Structure 1
Amino acid sequence: MSDIILKAENISKQYRLGLVGTGTLTHDLNRLWHRVRGKEDPYLKVGAVNDRSAAASSDYVWALQDINFEVKRGEILGIIGKNGAGKSTLLKILSRVTSPTTGSIKTKGRIASLLEVGTGMHPELTGRENIFLNGAILGMNKTEISSKIDEIIEFSGCQMYIDTPVKRYSSGMRVRLGFAVAAFLEPDILVVDEVLAVGDAEFQKKAIGKMQDISNTNGRTVLFVSHDMSAIRKLCNRVIMLHNGTVVLSGETEEVVKSYLSKHNIAKIKENLSNHINRVTESSILKMISIRNSNGSVFSNQDCTFKVEFDSSDLTFFSIGWLVKDYDENVVSAASMKRIGAEHKIEENKNFFILTLEKLPLFPGIYSLSLFLNDGNLDVDIIHDAIYFEVLWQKKNNFEQPLNSWGKTSIIFNTEY
């Protein structure tokens, strides 16, 4: 038990739908009357399951229900689940931002939280002043903070703007500074909720490396929420999966991630790229990707065709790069028009292109396609795992089992609009 730094026991969180506040005066009086008589709160017996896609069947909803887990010192725990599963609510309870309706949280040491862009940042104060403010909130004195401030500023990459009010920072700069403060002021437990998706690829790599370092070297604990399964795989020792406010699976990272990918059917026929969580550039030029195969079915040894829509208003030339990764994040195919000098001039009113992977030489399974859009000089839009697709097996492909060696993928570009 001495290694347990955080323990959640029977955590539940109930919200009332529709109205601001916890309820009406009648409900409050009813609760008081039951409490005086030593009875259970009558409104804890009711409440809908936290399924945001279903119509409300009650005035109350359980955002979380009966959550139990333990975290050891030095462990990196991943928390995954679809939007609305209760991940952020759980982290807010762990961070003392809100209190649970029932249950208790037991922790040892200081907790630093990075729950959303700009968390804990006072917009009117400068970046430097916010570092001291956040350090004071964590219980550190001025001398301790001063000894770390140079490292924090260097890691954040905000040296030029460190004495500028935070309200003038971009969302990426706020995340950089917020993460640097949370990581370098040495909390015993670091809580990070999906904010790294706002940063660029360089910062994401630095942040993941820093979280690994503070766990492995300093024996500190990290709770990490993300929809990026590759980051979860790289970083976490153990993962819990939430669904509709309950823990449905807890265990080794690979086991839980595979279950999540299969249960939530991440393979799609169409994906909106405008606000994609895996975009690593500030521009948003790529807009939509869809599979053009009949019924969206992709079969081994057959062509796989994608239609990619983009905003061509600021482009004169473009080239596209791509890579295909398998279920275990291994790159199985990659190519770039830029490398072979095959750039396309943007024609008027043309806002999509067709990408065809010829005779897809892949085993059955789930794969992802990443896209790299270049304007002739530099990459202007990059989206990792832009779309997941499932490759199926079909016996009529002249052979009944996968080949031992596939050879190289052949790529065809269709430039006819």
Structure 2
Amino acid sequence: MPAIISAENIGKCYIISHNKPREELRFNELLSEWGRSACRRLRHPLSPNTEKVDLEEFWALRGLDFRINRGDRVGIIGRNGSGKSTLLKILSRITSPSEGRINLRGRVASLLEVGTGFHPELTGRENIYLNGAILGMTQQEIRKKFDEIVDFSGVERFLDTPVKRYSSGMYVRLAFAVAAHLEPEILLIDEVLAVGDMEFQKKCLGKMQDISRGEGRTILFVSHNMNAVRSLCNRGIVLEKGRQVMDGNDNVEACIERYFGSAGHAGQCCWENDGTLSNPYFTPLSLQVLDAEKRPIGNTLYAEDPYWVEIRFKVEEANPSLYFDVQLSVGETPLFAASPRMVHEHYAVHKGENRVEFRIPPDLLNTQNYRLNLRAFLPQIGELLQRRTKNPPEIELPIELRRKYSFTPGNQESQYLQPEFQWNID
């Protein structure tokens, strides 16, 4: 039987400009640029623009080869920036590969980010029919599935409301319900499910298992939640820096171990500025996770151990209004943020290099892949660190548990935090 998805030497290249974006230029810099441009046009009105632009080739994906059979449930695993979302965009035909080719045999439905394929001005009801038509279904086929979609999404009360007024959770509920019930042969799911609440995530995983095992449809699932990957997928593909480093046919556990091994070594638990981030009010130098003795951590992180988070940064212009924190998240779900201003109200940074650290207590985290990212704000300017940069100040923390429960709670592994409470039992 031919593979439902086959990829041969897939690569995707982007051209990156290192010139300062116009939106980041100050007013006096914009005036100077406008003046220089006007003078060039007056002196040489017919000559082309010869201004030098610093460009770089960036390969988001390179050399991917794989075959996926009908009914496979494949977890696409990798750190941020490894090329997972780019691969799904190529598979869903949002973008085309720069080299190689992909063969798809069947209708594709994708859920890559909140609101994909929805028109904001149309109601939920109208968007269900619109998505069905995009998938090539007749009105009769859509009408047959309509009640199931609405019941699964739980947004019946707002069905005739334009979706631009939906919350992100409602958006995802309806988008997933449409993608899962309109019978595509291939279903592509990105980390977008992390927007939904825990109950809805479990409901989605159950639905994906039903449509894959019972109806033989193929699923490609991108997630940083390894427990969700374990429960759903029968196969994994591991990406690192745009390269395919492992294809675990019928062995998703081996892929998860490879991922933890690559993401958990000491080098990956330390972020350092490579010179691409600079701001006179706040320039991050490093973000590092250390063990209880403040040493670089090893391959495995356990929830039972305490950890220190060290932040080093410098400022050229000290501003008492500067606020910075470190946020802990799972996927796109923030759990908490830690800032010295929360404890020391009058804390202020000083000109030059600064160093602060805080302690994550033991028995707080659960078996998850967490993300730590550094943020900085000034009231008169706004956010100083953009996550869209090439090297954002963030690191991943894959956490495991030493203790093994003698029972299996229903949703133990899907919980983001698992603190150990003190109990008094009579």
Match of 1:41 in 2: none
- 1:223 aligned to 2:215? no
Per-residue CA deviation, residues 233-270 of structure 1 (Å, 9 max, x unaligned), is: 11111101111111011111000100110111178989
Q: Offset of 1:141 from its aligned partner? A: 0.8
- In the alignment, the residues of structure 2 paired with residue 220 and residue 293 of structure 1 have an alpha-carbon distance, to the nearest angstrom, of 47
- Write the mapping of 1:124-143 to structure 2, written as runs, cut at 5 A: 124-143=121-140
Contact 1:367 1:388 in 2 (8 A): no
Residue 369 to residue 13, structure 1, CA distance change in 2 (3 Å):
closer
Percent identical residues: 51
Letter of the 1:253 counterpart: V
2:180 is paired with a residue of what secondary structure?
helix
Per-residue CA deviation, residues 180-203 of structure 1 (Å, 9 max, x unaligned), is: 000000000001111111111011
Match of 1:15 in 2: 14
Residue 367 to residue 164, structure 1, CA distance change in 2 (3 Å):
closer
- Write the mapping of 1:17-36 to structure 2, written as runs, cut at 5 A: 17-18=16-17
TM-score, normalised on structure 1? 0.60
2:294 is paired with a residue of what secondary structure?
helix
- In the alignment, the residues of structure 2 paired with residue 96 and residue 270 of structure 1 have an alpha-carbon distance, to the nearest angstrom, of 35
- In the alignment, the residues of structure 1 paired with residue 368 and residue 224 of structure 2 have an alpha-carbon distance, to the nearest angstrom, of 16
Query: Please, what is the CA RMSD of the aligned residues?
Result: 3.9
Q: Offset of 1:390 from its aligned partner? A: 7.3
- In the alignment, the residues of structure 2 paired with residue 190 and residue 149 of structure 1 have an alpha-carbon distance, to the nearest angstrom, of 18
- 1:105 aligned to 2:113? no
Residue 182 to residue 369, structure 1, CA distance change in 2 (3 Å):
closer
Per-residue CA deviation, residues 71-98 of structure 1 (Å, 9 max, x unaligned), is: 1001101101111111111111111111
- In the alignment, the residues of structure 2 paired with residue 98 and residue 388 of structure 1 have an alpha-carbon distance, to the nearest angstrom, of 31
- Write the mapping of 1:10-409 to structure 2, written as runs, cut at 5 A: 10-18=9-17, 59-251=56-248, 252-265=251-264, 293-295=292-294, 304-305=305-306, 355=361, 368=367, 388-389=398-399
Contact 2:306 2:359 in 1 (8 A): no
- In the alignment, the residues of structure 1 paired with residue 361 and residue 115 of structure 2 have an alpha-carbon distance, to the nearest angstrom, of 39
TM-score, normalised on structure 2? 0.59
Q: Which contiguous aligned blocks of 4+ residues in structure 1 show a shift greater than 3 angstroms? A: 266-271, 289-292, 296-300, 303-308, 348-358, 366-371, 386-392, 410-413
Q: Offset of 1:293 from its aligned partner? A: 2.1
Residue 118 to residue 350, structure 1, CA distance change in 2 (3 Å):
same
Q: Offset of 1:368 from its aligned partner? A: 3.7
Per-residue CA deviation, residues 13-56 of structure 1 (Å, 9 max, x unaligned), is: 11111189xxxxxxxxxxxxxxxxxxxxxxxxxxxxxxxxxxxx
Contact 2:367 2:401 in 1 (8 A): no
Contact 1:292 1:305 in 2 (8 A): yes
Letter of the 1:247 counterpart: Q
Contact 2:18 2:55 in 1 (8 A): no
Which ranges of structure 2 fall in alignment gaps of 5 or more residues?
Answer: 20-53, 272-287, 310-341, 346-357, 371-395, 407-418
Contact 2:109 2:187 in 1 (8 A): yes
Letter of the 1:121 counterpart: F
Per-residue CA deviation, residues 140-191 of structure 1 (Å, 9 max, x unaligned), is: 0111101101100110111111111000011111111101000000000001
Contact 2:291 2:308 in 1 (8 A): yes
Letter of the 2:256 counterpart: V
